[in-house]
Structure formats: C-alpha cells, structure tokens
Structure 1
Amino acid sequence: MSATLSSPFSSALPSLPAVVTALRAAGCVFAEDEARLLVSAARTPADLTGMVGRRAAGLPLEHVVGWAEFYGLRIAVDTGVFVPRRRTEFLVRQAAALAHQTTAGRPVVVDLCCGSGALGAALLATAHGPVELYASDIDPSAVACARRNIGPGGTVLEGDLFDALPDGLRSRIDILLANVPYVPTEEVGLLPSEARDHEPLVALDGGADGLDVLRRVTAEASHWLAPGGHLLFETSEHQAPGAVTTVRADGLAPRVVTSEEWDATVVVAQLRGARLGSVALTPDPRGR
C-alpha cells in the first residue's frame, strides 16, 4: 500500500466516495466495505483523515478502528496485537459444543496464547452456564487487551504457556484451547504485510515446520487436562498429519475436523482414559 493519500481531504467530513477512492489508490482490495466502516467509526473530519491515512500506510483495518468482529462480538484490538481471524470461529464452535455438553457442572476452560482474548470472550458469550475461564499470553500488550475483552468473566494471566497458570489447575482443565503460532519460519515473510509488519512475530512464527510451540503444549497437556479433557488447536491442512503424530506421541487421542467454508482445520485431542468421541458435537444450525 502507498504510505500517503493521493489528495488531501477538505475540512468537511469526507464523503464515502472520496474515502473509497483514497483506499483504492492505496491498494485496498475491499475499499468500499472498509470505507463504510471508517466513515461510521470517525467522530470528526480530522479523525477520518487520520484513519484513512493509517490504513493507506498499511496498518490493519482492525488496528485502525480499534476492534475486530469475531463470533458476533466486537473484540478490542490494540496496535501491535494479533488480530483474531474469522476462520478461528470454527475452533470456537468445536470448543463451545464440548463445553455445552460437559456434565461436570462448571467446565474449566483455559485459552493459551490468548492474544486479544477473542476465543475466551466468545466462549463466555455462548456458554449455557457458568464457566471457569483462564487465559494467558506472553505478550503484555495482548494481555492488556484480553483483560478488557474478557472482563470479570475470567482470569487473564501473563506468562509463557503453562508457566502462567496456577498449579491448582493441574488435572482440572476440561477444555484447553491453544491457538498457537503455526506459520513455518521460512513462510512468515510470505504473509500479507498487515500481518508480517504489524503483528507480533511471537504470534506468527511456529518454528521450522510450524509445530514447535505445539510440541511444547502437547508435551505438558496431559498433566493439566482433567480425565477425558480435550485439547483443541488450529493448524493448516498440510500440517495436520504431523500435528496428529505429535499429539498421539504425547498420550492424547486426536481427531481432525475441517471446514471448507471456513477454510479451517482443527485438531480435537482427548486425554486417554476416556472414550474418544464420548461427547458428540452439537451441529451448527447454520451448517458450519
């Protein structure tokens, strides 16, 4: 994208066509949709001019407006914080179905690598009953965001994976969400500029094969999961076989769930000792 607008706006609130033209000139593919959002979010002409300028310079739209739409919610996303992807809603659906059918009463849910806290906030919003929620991230900026998004409904902690969690959660977690980074190091440079230039590398880079962080999670997961508890994570289609092998090697029984509509691949792994598939997923009424 161009770092400057093709022409300055006047002191009056710029019209929608003028914003569309400026965004198109900067290379925004969805200029019309983005323009409508920016116009609705701006409070003053100067505010809108600044927002369009930041977007034209390549800042992610979500960072410009300060929020991302996820699972029907507005999730606060500060500059420099990983933007939740819409495809990850598919992961939340799998977790929500399991949480809804947990018979132990108040399910214990942990969201590792929580970023903005979007997954935890979405689960709280759709829970049929009380949920004991914990979320953690190594990035202080993400933790600050997550605390705003999750609010009093959960506990947000700062730290590296399980190191952030209280020992009292060992063998108690019913649902462990781990939306770990899974982009292979060599492919990070191929990501869109919005991601590689404006999102933290720690939220993107998954090591040589993209599975380094996942291996760290699966190596400890069995010590934290309750009997029959589930680990859920997103991966790419071509990484799924390697992820399944990793999960099995660390004592969990995996299955792969995919969605063509969401272009999403999710691994759902259950702690051995409980029958895999004993909790049936609730079908999404929209067929997703």
Structure 2
Amino acid sequence: MSDPLDTTYDVLVIGGGAAGLSGALTLARARWRVAVVDAGSPRNAPAGAVHGLLGREGVSPAALLATGRREVRAVGGRVVQGLVRQVTRDDGGTHPFTITLEDGRVARSRRLLVATGLRDDLPDLPGLAARFGRDVLHCPFCHGHEVRDRRLGVLATGPHAVRQALLFRQWSPHVTLLAHTGGEPTGEDAVRLAARGVDVVTGVVRALDVHHDRLTGVVLTDGTVVALDALVVATTMRARTDALTHLGLETATLPGGLGEHVVAEAGRTAVPGVWVAGNATSLHAQVTTAASEGTWAAAQITADLVEEDTAAAVAESVPAP
C-alpha cells in the first residue's frame, strides 16, 4: 500500500525504517504535514527477527515496519512507496527542499529528515551475500544469542577481527579466527586469543561449505574444510547518500575501513533545514537506537518550525511603520 504524494509538506522523511517511521510518527503527532518516502529495501530485510527491542523481541523486520506504517497513517502521516532519485535545496521559497522520485513525481518541503540507512559491503567471497543475516553474521548483539554454543568462524579481513572474535567468545566457547586476508595475529593479540581459547586457522578461505541450505563450514585454498555452524564477517558500512549529493552533506570515514557516515550534531547537519537519524549517521545503531534518534530529530525539527512560524506571526502582527 502506498499513499498519494502531495506537492508540499512541512517535513519530508526519506527512508521508512525504524528511524524514519519513528520520526514521522512524532512529527505527525505534532500536527505537521509529513510524508515518508521509502524505497522498500531496509538493511535488516535478510534477518529473520529483530532482537534486543524491548517489548517486541523476536518480531520480524517486515512485521515491525508494517506496524510502524499503520501507526504513522493513524495520526495523519503519509507513507509513500518510491525511490528518491534527487534532492535539491533552493533558498528562495518557503519550501526550499525538492525531492524527485524515480518515476518523476515531485514534492517540496520546509524541512528534511534523512533516514536512508546504510548498505553493507561484504567481503568478496562467493555465496556470502545470499546467506547474510542467516548463518553469515556480523553483530554479536543482533545474533549472538541465536548461535550460542555453536561453532563460529570469524573471517579476518581487517584489523578489527581479533576484537570481533573475542566478542563472539562471550556467546560460544567454540570460536575460530580464520586468518584469511587479515594475517595471522601476533604479539598481544595472539596472547589474548589463546587465553580465551580462540583457535586460529591460517590460509585464505575460497568458498563456503553449504549442505541442504545450511552452512557447514568453509573451504580453504588448499582444500581444507573447517567445520562451522556460522560465519562472522566484518562489513564496510556506507550511508545511502546517492540521491543527496546536491545537498552538500558532510560525510566522514571511520578508521580501519569500517565505513562512511553523514556527519551530524545531535541529528542536525551543517545544511540548514536538514536532519539525519539512524544508520545514515550512526553506523552501529541497532533498531532501538535508530528509532530513538528519529524521535529526537523530529522533536528538534518541531522546535525549529515553531520558531520559524512564531517569527512569521510576530512580523505579521507588527504594524508597518
């Protein structure tokens, strides 16, 4: 279901995940004309369930978002299906932001909330993407409980693999660090891994070992099979900003190749009238955090709009000299 897109709004929200829907809910409850424009490709779509969300533990991502859309509509907000192709800003009018959708529809708004989320760039290994969110994992707090006491392999592709292996050791005593392209740990890292009983396997992983649609291990270049129940990988997380280039949003790169995010201070970007919430600015935010950021940004947008409307009312009420 998609609502019609009107030509003008107080606030347009780009992205209909936890951050965008939470922001839209708060904005609509504050009686602003608001629409969420969503392309329908949430980051957590491959996951079977959302975890760590108080009161909704284990809910499917699709069910959670469907509930959120109903709640936004119930208080007068719009939820529009569509891919935003371009966003521009023009200082000359009361509705400076213009969004253009891929199908040619256009809408303008006074303020903009960016909740586009991020994409996960996976290591280059055949079959990895198809299993991501199932038995190929990246976050211990999202998936650790579900793979507790199982045989876990951590694919080392960068400097954070040791920390990742030690974190997952909290959930299982059967953790193996696969040196892969990250190199064999030395010095203090090797000592720490050994002290926690984390095995290290050298050699490059060339393939996943899958039987009956279940990961059973990985295959090294020399043909060795390492038996596993789940594989932990590090992703490069990149904010989805392709349609926002004309706004001039500032982005920053995290150290160690972890990713790139939109720079914001408490949700407010350096571009006047633009706020950002969720994974687009907080790469490691889980659903709870993203939703909270959306609500906070909506409160700040409300305060900003109220100030603007009050100033306009004062100007109208003061007699001309």
Shared fold by TM > 0.5? no
Higher helix share: 1
TM-score (norm 1): 0.33
- The structure richer in strand per residue is 2
Higher Cα Rg: structure 1 or 2?
2
**TM-score, length of structure 2 as denominator length:** 0.30
